Chain A
Amino acid sequence: MDYTLTEEQEQLVNLVEEFVAGEVNPYIEKHGHEDFPWPLFRKLGLLGLAAIPFPTEYGGGGLDYSTYAVVLEEFSRLGTRLGSVLAVHGLPQLIINQFGTPEQQKKYLPPLSRADLLGAFALTEPHAGSDAQAISTRAELHDDRYILRGQKIWITHGGEADVYIVMAVTDKSKGARGISSFIVEKNMQGLSFGRRERPMGLAHHTREVFFEDCEVPRENLIGQEGDGFRVAMTALDSGRITVAATSIGLAQCAFDHALKYSVERKAFGQSIGDFQGIQFMLADMIAAIEAARCVTRKAAYLRDRGMPFNVIASIAKLLATDAAMKVTTDAVQIYGGYGTSEDYPVQALFREAKIGQIVEGTNQIQRMIIARELLKKLRS
C-alpha cells in the first residue's frame, strides 16, 4: 500500500485547489451558504468531478475510491462543503451503478455524472434513524406502479435534488427483508418537501420529504422487492469512506488554522505555540488526523481491490469523525475567545464536525458493526 499520491491524484488535488480559489471562494463570498450552490455543482460536472469513481461508460471518471477519497478530503481541507455534496450525490450513483438495471443506468447515470441532475438518498424517518429497519414509509404495487406513502426526515439535498433513492416497506411481515428501494424523481406526483431544516454547521440543505400517494413506475424498483435494506447498507459501507474523507479534510483545515494561529498569537511575551500546553494539543490533533487518514486510505484500498472493507470503513468513519470533533474543539480552544467568533473560521468547522459523528450511522452504530462482525467471525 502506497501512502504517496499518484500523479493523477496530485493533479486532481491541484485542480481542486485552483477551482476552490478561482470559483468556489469568490462564489461563497458573494452568495453565502444559504442557497444550494447550483453554479458550483454544475461546474463540478463540467470538470468531471461529479462521478469520480463511477464507470466511464456512463460518463463517470472511472477512477478508484482511493482517488475519490483524496478529492473529497481536499475539498474539505480547503474549507468548502463540496466534498459532502459530492459524497451525498455519489450515493444514488453508487446504488444505480451497482444494483440498477441497464435501463436505469442508461437513464440516470449520465445526467448524474454531468451534474445535470442532483442526487439524494432517503432512508431516515422521524422514528427510524439508527434503527433503519423500523422505517414505516410504505410502497404498494398497483398494476404498473408503486404507491408510496410516508415521510422522510433529514434528507440532504431534499427539495433540491432531482433524483432520490427511497427506502420503503413493501412487505411488513418480512422485517428488513420487506424493505425495497426505488428511484423517485422530483417531479413525480405526490412527492413534496417540508421546511428547510437547520442543522448546525455550514450549510446543509436538508428537508423533510413527504410521499402522499406518490406514484412511482414499477420499473423504478431497484433490484427485487426486499432488496432495499441490503442496497442501503451496501451504499452506506462505501458512504462511510466518504464521510471519513471529508471529516479528515475538515480536521486538517481546522488544524492548519490553529497551527498558524499558535505562531501568530503572542501571550506572556512569546508565541502561544512555544508553550508546551499548546504544543501537546497540536501534536495530539495531528496524530489523530494522520491515524484516521491511514485507516481511511486502507478502507479505500481494500474496496478498490474488491476485498471486504465494511469493518475497516466503519473504523475509518468512527476514527475520522471523532478526530474531526476533537481537532475542531481544540482548534477553538487554541484560538481562545476569538475561536468562538464568527469572524474567525474555526467555530464554523467545530459546528460542522458534529454531524459527522451522527450521519451514515452514528458512531455508536459503527462500534456495534465493528464488534458484531468480529464476533460473528469468531463464532462461525
Chain B
Amino acid sequence: MKICVCLKQVPKKDSILRIAQDQKWIDERDISYEMSEADAYALEEALRQKEAHGGEVIVISMGPERTRQSIKEALAKGADRAIHLDDPIFEQATDAAGIGRAIAAALKDEGCDLIMTGLQSDDHGFGQVGLIIAERLGMSSATIVMEVQIETGSVRVKRELESGWFQWVRVPTPAVLTIQSGINQLRYATLKGIMSAKKKELREVKAADLNLTADDLKPLQSIERAYVPEKSKQTEFIEGKPAEIAARLVEKLRFDARVF
C-alpha cells in the first residue's frame, strides 16, 4: 500500500494576524507556521494504515523553504520520504486549481494507492485541492472522511454528513480521501524519529521538473481584499420579569451570539 499525504503549512493557530499592506493577504513577517490541522490527521491516518497493512507513506508539500519544517516533522513522525515543491514559480499557484495541478503533476508517476489530504486547510480553507488532484489523476475520491477501512481493490470510508449523520461508501482504489480532523489521536514525534528524519529522502522538485510554467499555474481566482471583520456595538435592553429576561437572554446567547 503506497499512501501519499498532502501537507500544507499554515500560520500557527495562536499567531497574531495582521493584514498585509496591499490588503490581499496577511503580513507573513514574524509569523510561526505549523502543519494544517486536518493534514496532521491525514498523516496520522496514513501512518496507521501503513502500520496495519505495510507499505510506504510519502508526504508532499508545496511552499517556500520554511515548509521543510513541517515536512521534517512528518518524516520524524514516521513518513518514509518526502517531496517538496519548492520554486518561486509555484508561488503563482495561490488557488486550489494551481495547487492541485502542481501536486497532481508531481504525483502522476508515483503510482499511489491512496492520496490523503486534510479536508480543508486552516488558512484558505478551499476544501478543493484533494478533489482537483483526484480529477487530474483520474482517481476516485471521498470527502470528509471519518474512518478508513482498506479492502482489496477498494477502500470503505465513513463520511460525515450534516446534522450528525454519517454515510459509509466504498470507492475503488486508487483514491483520494480528504480527512476530517479528530479522526484519530495524533502521535508526537520522538527524539529518535527527529534524528532518523535527517537520513530520509527529501526530494526537491522545481516547476521545470514537472514541465509547468508560471502561466500553467496562473490563478483562476484572486483575493479582492483581506480584512478583519468590522465590529459594531449594539446594546439591546431586554425588558420583562426576571424569569422572562433570563429565558430571552439564554435564547440570544445561544442563537445570536452562539456562545453555547
Contacts and interface: CB of A to CB of B under 8 A. Distances in A.
A47 interface: yes
Nearest to A16: B188
B189 A15 contact: yes
Nearest to B197: A11
B72 A47 contact: no
A15 B194 contact: yes
B73 A47 contact: no
Nearest to A7: B72
A7 B186 CA distance: 22
B69 A10 contact: yes
Contacts of B186: 22
Contacts of A18: 188
Contacts of A62: 195
A49 interface: yes
Nearest to B189: A15
B195 A8 contact: yes
A52 B188 contact: no
A14 interface: yes
A61 interface: yes
Nearest to B40: A18
Contacts of B73: 11, 14
Contact of A8 (B68, B188, B190, B194): B194
B188 A11 contact: no
B199 interface: no
A49 B69 contact: no
Contacts, number: 45
A355 interface: no
B191 interface: yes
Contacts of B195: 8, 61-63
Contacts of B194: 8, 11-12, 15
B191 A12 contact: yes
Give the size category of B's interface with A: 10 to 19
A46 interface: yes
B248 interface: no
Contacts of B69: 7, 10-11, 14
Contacts of A48: 190-192
A64 to B, nearest CB: 12
Contacts of B191: 12, 15, 47-49, 52, 61, 63
Interface string B141-171: 0000000000000000000000000000000
Contact of B76 (A11, A19, A22, A49): A11
What DSSP secondary structure best describes chain A's contact surface? helix
B200 interface: no
What DSSP secondary structure best describes chain B's contact surface? helix
Contacts of A47: 188, 190-191
Contacts of B76: 11
Nearest to B194: A11
Contacts of A19: 188
Contacts of A8: 194-195, 198
A61 B194 CA distance: 10
Interface in B173-218: 186, 188-192, 194-195, 197-198
A14 B73 CA distance: 9
Given A8-B198, A62-B195, A46 B72 contact: no
Interface in B42-80: 68-69, 72-73, 76
A37 B96 CA distance: 46
Contact of B189 (A11, A22, A52, A63): A11
B191 to A, nearest CB: 3
A48 B194 CA distance: 10
Contacts of B188: 15, 18-19, 22, 47
A61 B193 CA distance: 11
Interface string A30-63: 0000000000000000111100100000000111
A14 B40 CA distance: 14
B31 to A, nearest CB: 15
B190 to A, nearest CB: 5
Nearest to B75: A11
Contacts of B198: 7-8
Contacts of B72: 7, 11
- Which of B186, B190, B198 is the most central at the interface, judged by chain A CB atoms within 10 Å of its CB? B190
Contacts of B68: 7
Nearest to A18: B188
Nearest to B35: A14
A22 B187 CA distance: 10
Interface in A168-182: none
Contacts of A61: 191-192, 195
A19 B188 CA distance: 7
Given A7-B72, A8-B194, A46-B190, 12 more contacts: A11-B69, A11-B76, A11-B194, A14-B73, A15-B189, A15-B194, A18-B188, A22-B188, A47-B191, A61-B191, A62-B195, A63-B195
Interface of B: 34, 68-69, 72-73, 76, 186, 188-192, 194-195, 197-198
Interface of A: 7-8, 10-12, 14-15, 18-19, 22, 46-49, 52, 61-63
Q: Which 7 A-B pairs have the closest CB atoms?
A: A48-B191, A48-B190, A11-B194, A61-B191, A48-B192, A47-B190, A15-B189
11 contacts: A7-B72, A7-B198, A11-B76, A14-B34, A14-B189, A15-B188, A15-B191, A48-B191, A48-B192, A49-B191, A61-B191
